[in-house]
Amino acid sequence: MMKIYASDEQFEEEELHACAGSKVVNLVDIHESYQSAKRLYEKKFFVEKGRLFTADQLVDRSKPEAPEFSLESYADRLYYSIDIGNMQGCVAIIEELKNVVIVHLQEEKEIKVALFQLYSNILHQLVRSHPNMEGVLEPLVMNAGDIYQFEHLPGIMAFLTKQLKYVIDCMDNGQPDLLLRKMIALIHKDYAKNLRLETLASVFNYNRAYLGKLFKNYTGEYFNTYPDKVRIENGKRLLQKGYKVSWIIHKKPLMPK
């Protein structure tokens, strides 16, 4: 969109949006190219500012494989990822969420409302489950409305990523309960592997004996027996679903090879 500026200073204060229309082969194509660029400009919210905006940067809203959008489901997934200190999981969920809201929500306002609700939901869950972190979380709750100030969706998603990382960093202050939740989550995810206390003690920079004692006090069970309990539970679950023992052995092994 073209404007005439009286000075370089006035130009620098403006935010530039550059959109490329459809390809022009003949003079008669110029009008359609302009119209396509104009239509793209109306969707500038969905792309990162400061970049040339082309049609191929838009997510196809008609994708049949787009997951069903459930605000509560995404809030829960992000909450649990934060609770076990899994920042990598948060990043993956936020990227998925960005594509899903583009497909399922039509307007900038409703996207901002949905993401504000999701962010507030996560923060309130954390306040309830971690009252000792009220001093960290309350300012975030008070400023959750900052989401509405962003003019681009990528900026909102970057804001959410930064805020959730800050929360995880504050939680991951060497707190034993967070460390143990990470260990338990790892066991439930990788129960088929040969998980050793020595290895985890090295990963988390803890003394082996001390970490074993923390685990016993937290779970009521010894570390060496806990993975076997998880394997048995998963084996029962698969059998209840109708899977045969031979299939479980070959396709879903419960024990390390």
Reported as a single tens digit per residue, the pLDDT across 33-89 is 777 767 666 677 777 666 666 656 555 555 545 556 788 889 989 998 888 788 888
Q: What pLDDT, on a 0 to 100 scale, did the predictor assign at position 17?
A: 66
pLDDT, greater one: 177 or 141: 141
CA 46 – CA 99 distance, rounded (Å) = 10
Q: Which residues of 82-96 are buried (b: 16+ CB within 10 A; e: fewer)?
A: bbbbbbebbeebbee
Token look-up 């306040």 returns: 127
In the DSSP assignment, the letter for residue 190 is S
Task: Kindly report the pTM of this predicted structure.
Answer: 0.60
Q: Hey, what's the torsion of the CAs at 256, 231, 79, 152, to 10 degrees?
A: 40
Q: What pLDDT, on a 0 to 100 scale, did the predictor assign at position 240?
A: 84
Q: What pLDDT, on a 0 to 100 scale, did the predictor assign at position 254?
A: 57
CATH T-level assignment (fold) for domain 176-251: Arc Repressor Mutant, subunit A (1.10.10)
- Work out the pLDDT band at 257, boundaries 50, 70, 90: low
The residue among 73, 126, 140, 125 whose CA lies nearest residue 101 is 73
Q: Which residues pair with 52 in a beta bridge?
A: 18
Instruction: Tell me the C-alpha to C-alpha distance, in Å, between residue 34 and each of 5, 16, 38, 60, 197.
Output: 22, 17, 6, 21, 64
